[in-house]
Amino acid sequence: MHQPDVVVIGAGISGLAVCEVLHRGGLAVTVLEARTRVGGRLLSSPLDLGASWFWDGERRVRAMTDRFEIATFPQYRAGDAMIDERDGVHRYPGNPIDGQAHRFVNGAAALTNALAGELPQGVVLLDQPVIEVTDELVVLTATSRWQPQHVVIAVPPAVAVAAIRLPEALPGNLVDIAQRTPVWMSDTVKVVVTYDEPFWRSDGLAGSAISRAGPLHEIHDLCGPDGSPSALFGFARAGQPSGLTESEICAQLGRIFGPRAHAPRELQIQDWSSEQWTNPAMAAPESAQSSPGFALLGHAVYQQPQLGGRFHWSATETAPNYAGHIEGALEAAERTVNSILDFPR
Ligand SMILES: Cc1cc2nc3c(=O)[nH]c(=O)nc-3n(C[C@H](O)[C@H](O)[C@H](O)COP(=O)(O)OP(=O)(O)OC[C@H]3O[C@@H](n4cnc5c(N)ncnc54)[C@H](O)[C@@H]3O)c2cc1C
């Protein structure tokens, strides 16, 4: 039985941020991660297949880019937007689709890579799905047992309820609320297409589009800071009756941005809804919610630790502010760190 001060479940940005601060503060921390990589919903390959933006006012993200010297640049938005309707494609002067957002030069996963890089080897254990946390706060994977002072669930609450047998001593309403708290973007497919050059820019287009003629319902420029690599990305909803085919996607891009868009050099489809460590319905199909309760994001039940102050929730879905964003994941991490450091030792 291993006995660190803290076991963090989940090596997304929230869990890694908790771990990094506590490790710096001298606590013995272990992170157990189900996937074979860190980052969770931050995945850059090398373009972003998960999150890509942060916004003005998200001070924790900005503080992290400053601290780790992670280069950022503004989202490209010069030019006109396109509206793809069933009655045809319309050019919309100016670009009302893209707000002023910022991107990470080396992808959003630069954040989690930087945090993981601060931790000594052996602190983050990959391929270690947690299957149970007992009433005594013993944490179990298929191959290991841990008995820490504190357990941090840095997993979206609905995924935690679906995939982990949680302590029976937790209040019933908490488990119910966790099960009904939606997981941000877990029903989303992100499609990234790369080209030899950003030809839409020379056509006076921003690369942004809104579509009701599908399959991509929203499209944006995803080029690097100087236009290279040249890329667009689009969001599609998972589980569309006709499925999501490359030929449909290329046809739609060609319709909106012209023939050159029809033949991308590379097309990547990242279906987050099929990821068992992001979408609770993959772990427990009966847990799928028909009406997502967005009001439950950042619910009061997540703000106080349970089980004598030793059981903590830390994922973006538990943050009262910026829930769903990277900033929310960092806000939740900050609250968790404060609760653990305030705990009488
Ligand atoms: C397509 C897409 C686009 C997005 N765009 C943006 C954006 O532009 N800007 C923005 O701010 N946010 C965006 N987001 C949201 C952003 O990615 C998340 O807010 C953030 O990454 C959440 O971090 P987290 O640590 O809270 O959770 P996660 O990243 O989900 O981390 C949870 C971790 O727990 C692990 N895990 C799950 N179950 C277990 C288990 N049983 N045992 C051990 N480990 C487990 C998972 O593998 C994962 O690594 C987007 C998300 C997606 C999917």
State yes or no: pLDDT of 281 exceeds 90.
no
**What is the pLDDT at residue 264?**
97
Q: Tell me, in angstroms, the distance from the centre of ligand 1 to residue 122's CA.
A: 22
C-alpha–C-alpha distance, residues 186 and 40, integer Å:
11
C-alpha–C-alpha distance, residues 216 and 198, integer Å:
19
**What is the pLDDT at residue 256?**
97
State yes or no: pLDDT of 285 exceeds 90.
no
**Percent of the chain surpassing pLDDT 70:** 97
**What is the pLDDT at residue 291?**
59
Identify the residues whose C-beta falls under 6 Å from ligand 1. Answer: 9-15, 32-35, 40-42, 50-54, 129-130, 154-156, 159, 163-164, 184-185, 188, 190, 272, 277-278, 315-316, 324-326, 328-329
* Rounded (5°) CA angle 202-208-213: 120
Burial 322-341 (b: 16+ CB within 10 A, else e): bbbbbbbbbbbbbbbbebbe
**Tokens representing 243?**
């499925």
User: 133, exposed or middle or buried, with CB in 10 Å at 0-12, 13-18, 19+?
Assistant: buried
State yes or no: pLDDT of 284 exceeds 80.
no
Q: Tell me, in angstroms, the distance from the centre of ligand 1 to residue 202's CA.
A: 35
Q: Which numbered atom of ligand 1 lies nearest the CA of 35? A: 47
Q: Which domains does the chain have, with CATH numbers?
A: 6-62+109-183+276-342 (3.50.50.60), 74-104+187-274 (3.90.660.10)
Q: Tell me, in angstroms, the distance from the centre of ligand 1 to residue 197's CA.
A: 31
**What is the pLDDT at residue 241?**
61
C-alpha–C-alpha distance, residues 109 and 107, integer Å:
5
Q: Tell me, in angstroms, the distance from the centre of ligand 1 to residue 85's CA.
A: 32
State yes or no: pLDDT of 290 exceeds 70.
no
**What is the pLDDT at residue 218?**
97
**What is the pLDDT at residue 160?**
97
- Greater confidence, 239 or 290? 239
**What is the pLDDT at residue 293?**
80
When pLDDT is cut at 50, 70 and 90, the band that residue 244 belongs to is: confident
Mutate to test the pocket of ligand 1, among 37, 41, 128 (most ligand atoms within 8 A of CB): 41
Nearest to 139 by CA among 162, 115, 160, 112: 160
Q: Tell me, in angstroms, the distance from the centre of ligand 1 to residue 79's CA.
A: 32
CA nearest ligand 1 atom 29, residue? 40
When pLDDT is cut at 50, 70 and 90, the band that residue 275 belongs to is: very high
* Rounded (5°) CA angle 152-345-154: 5
The predicted-structure confidence for 171-218, as pLDDT tens digits, reads as follows: 989 999 999 999 999 999 999 999 999 999 999 999 999 999 989 999
CA nearest ligand 1 atom 36, residue? 10
**What is the pLDDT at residue 217?**
95
Lowest mean pLDDT among 28-37, 88-97, 113-122, 275-284: 275-284
Q: Tell me, in angstroms, the distance from the centre of ligand 1 to residue 334's CA.
A: 16
State yes or no: pLDDT of 287 exceeds 80.
no
Quote the mean pLDDT of the chain: 95
Q: How many CB atoms lie within 10 A of CB 214?
A: 17
- Average confidence (pLDDT) over 50-62: 98
